[in-house]
Amino acid sequence: VLGARPDDPSKGYLGVTPEEQPNVPFEVTFNLADVGGPSAGLMFSLAVVDKLSPGELSNGEFVAGTGTIDADGTVGPIGGIPYKLIAAREAGATTFLVPDANCGEAQQNVPDGLRLVRVESLDSAVDSLQTIRSGGDVPSCS
């Protein structure tokens, strides 16, 4: 008996479907009320990096951000960036990590006092936070 195709259940399927699963000796759980969805992917990923690395990734600065994240660490665009920028600034954020694809819209709607940092991947976000910590220049949405 054929199985159902993962991408089209109306068609038969015979074969093997690989699945990506992390092979780590620990479990990660999040306990954040009213936070979630794909646009929180970047910030959840950064929280894991922060917990697994020495020191504080943000160096005590209030950093906010948004973006989907793929298995390879690519940061993707989200909707509603103007509202997220306003909410972050009102909460006290001084730096906001912006998916590259959202930079144009973010630049047009940035509140005073909020620095926009352009990110394309989890690695670029970590690199930018480390550069901020050392006082260097980071990619912006300009």
pLDDT digits (tens, 9 = 90+) for 20-58: 777 888 777 766 666 667 888 999 899 889 988 888 898
Q: Which of 45, 51, 58, 84 is catalytic?
A: 84
Domain enclosing residue 122, as ranges: 36-133
45 is catalytic: no
The whole-number pLDDT of residue 115 equals: 96
Q: Catalytic site residue 140?
A: no
Residue 5 within a domain:
no
**Domain for residue 91, yes or no?**
yes
Domain count, the chain: 1
**Looking at 10, 11, 39, 142, which residue is catalytic?**
39
- Specify if 109 maps to a domain: yes
Judge residue 85's burial from the number of C-beta atoms within 10 Å of its C-beta, 0-12 exposed, 13-18 middle, 19 or more buried. Answer: buried
The whole-model pTM stands at: 0.80
The domain that holds 93 is classified in CATH as 3.30.230.10
First and final C-alpha spacing in the chain: 57
User: Is 78 contained in some domain?
Assistant: yes
Q: Which two tokens stand for residue 104?
A: 């144009």
Residue 44, SS3 per DSSP:
helix
